[in-house]
Structure 1
C-alpha cells in the first residue's frame, strides 16, 4: 500500500524531536516542525482521505473519470499550498505527493503508462495540467 507523504513527514518530526530531547541535535538545526506544521499535515491528510475514497473501482473507469479524480486531488492540494503562502510543498514533498498519487492509482488497477500514453503524456506528467505546487 502506498505510504502517505504525511506519514513520512510526521516520522521525520518525531525523529527530530527525539534527537533534540537526547541532545544529539543542535536546536539551531531543527527545522521539521517548522516545515510541517500540524495544520498543513491535517489539511493534506484531509485531501488524501477524499482522494483515497475515490480510488475503488478506478481500474474499470474510463480515462475521463480517472483524470477527474486526479484533477480533484491536485486542485485540493493547490488550495492547501495557497493557504500556506505557496510554500507548503517543496521539491521533495511534491515528488512524494506525485509518487503517492501514482502508486495509489496503480494499486487500484489503473495502468498509468497506458493512460498517459493515450493522452500524449509521460507517466510522470499526470498531475501537470492542474498542479501549481
Structure 2
C-alpha cells in the first residue's frame, strides 16, 4: 500500500518542528504546521482510509461501482478543503491526492487507463466530474 499523502505531509510538519526545536530553522521561517493543520491531516487521512476500504472490497467488478468510490472520496475531500477555507489542498497536494487515488485503484487490480477509456476520458481526469479542489 502506498503512503497516504496526509502521512507524508505530517512527516514534513514533524521534521520542520524538529528543525525549529534544534535551532536549525528560525520559527519565523516555519510554515508547514500552518499549511497542514492537524485538522486537515486527520480528516484527509480518514477520507483516504475509507477510500482504501471501499476499493479493497470492490475489485474490478463494475465501472460504476469504482466511479462511485472515486466520487465518494472526492466529495469528502471537497468538504475538507472547504472546511479549510478552500486552501487545504494547493496544486502539489491536489496532484498527490489524484495520484494516490489512481495508484490505490491500480494496486487493487483496477486497470485505470482502461476504466477511464471506457468513459471516454484520460486517466488523469477520473476525479474531474466531482473535484472542486
User: TM class by shorter-chain length?
Assistant: over 0.9
Q: TM-score by structure 1 length?
A: 0.96
Mapped partners of 2:56, 2:13: distance in 1:
31
Once the two structures are superposed, the pairs formed by residues 1-133 of structure 1 within 5 Å of their partners are 1-133=1-133
Runs of 5+ consecutive residues of structure 1 not aligned to the other structure? none
Mapped partners of 1:11, 1:31: distance in 2:
14
Mapped partners of 1:2, 1:27: distance in 2:
32
How much has 1:58 moved relative to structure 2?
A: 2.7
Q: TM-score by structure 2 length?
A: 0.96
* Aligned residue pairs, count: 133
The root-mean-square deviation of aligned C-alpha atoms, in Å, is 0.9
How much has 1:57 moved relative to structure 2?
A: 3.7
